[in-house]
Amino acid sequence: MATTLNLYYAPGTCALASHLALEYSGAPYQATRLDFKQQQQRSPEFLRLNPKGRVPALVTDRGVLTENIAILQFIAQSFPQANLAPLDDVFLLAKVNEFNSYMSSTVHVNHAHKGRGYRWVEADDTASLQAMQKKVPQTMAESFTLIEEQMFKGPWVLGERFSTSDMYLYTIARWLEGDGVDVKRFPKVADHMRRMEAQPQVQKVVASHQP
């Protein structure tokens, strides 16, 4: 790739998944940290890059990519030597996108009901916001029960083959404790987290995401 990739991220967000993929890929990249408390994601400079005002956003030599699913596949295909996705198997590649789509469209949304309910109801609708927050432990636990029992092959999401799905699973599993769910309820996911956290790539990237 002609230019160094630049990933915009913020601590505690799903951008960790894309950051991990860059680190595992061996790609030349830089990571630009945004401070959400200072509303840097709403700054004119960032909104010119990503009008959505969210992370991750990846600046490439062909333009800006947003959304984890797109960024993860872009990284995997741009750096195939890293073996971050089963590019040689159309069905398994579809399974990667199936899993990552579930993390993005369902599990992440469940989590967002806790702190960002204003995306769905009026900010002054206290009763609705509280009802959404109260539901989060249940919906997150239900999602991870499905992952544990049906979607997770072990020892990695696809089985023996490590992929970007493992980075996405790890990223969102880190939110369980804050969502009132004990990860030990899901032994395979808990073991997955331990093995991910033992890897130097994960340790390096997670350190840069500390508050």
d(CA 11, CA 208): 8
Looking at the structure, tell me whether residues 98 and 42 fall in a common domain: no
- The 8-class DSSP code of residue 10 comes to -
Structure tokens that stand for 123 in this block: 């900010």
Whether 148 maps to a domain, the answer reads: yes
Looking at the structure, tell me whether residues 69 and 123 fall in a common domain: no
Structure tokens that stand for 187 in this block: 């032994």
Q: Last residue of a domain, which of 84, 114, 131?
A: 84
Whether 208 maps to a domain, the answer reads: no
d(CA 94, CA 98): 6
Whether 54 maps to a domain, the answer reads: yes
Orientation angle between helical segments 68-78 and 90-102, nearest 10 degrees: 150
Structure confidence at residue 127 (pLDDT):
87
67-70: list long-range contacts, CB under 8 Å, 24+ apart: 67/104, 68/14, 68/15, 68/17, 68/18, 68/100, 68/103, 68/104, 68/168, 69/97, 69/100, 69/101, 69/104
Shortest CA distance to 207 belongs to which of 7, 82, 37, 20?
20
Looking at the structure, tell me whether residues 195 and 94 fall in a common domain: yes
Whether 51 maps to a domain, the answer reads: yes
Structure confidence at residue 1 (pLDDT):
47
DSSP H helical ranges for the chain: 15-25, 44-49, 68-78, 90-102, 108-115, 126-146, 164-173, 187-197, 200-208
Residues spanned by the domain of 184:
90-199
Give the 3-state secondary structure of residue 43.
coil
Q: Last residue of a domain, which of 62, 84, 106?
A: 84
Give the 3-state secondary structure of residue 156.
strand
d(CA 2, CA 130): 49
Whether 204 maps to a domain, the answer reads: no
Residues of the chain falling short of pLDDT 50: 1-2
Whichever domain contains 193, its CATH number is 1.20.1050.10
Q: Does residue 112 contact residue 178 with C-beta atoms inside 8 Å?
A: no
Whichever domain contains 16, its CATH number is 3.40.30.10
Structure confidence at residue 28 (pLDDT):
96
Q: Last residue of a domain, which of 84, 119, 134?
A: 84
The structural domain count of the chain equals: 2
CA 110 remoteness from chain centre: 14
Looking at the structure, tell me whether residues 185 and 96 fall in a common domain: yes
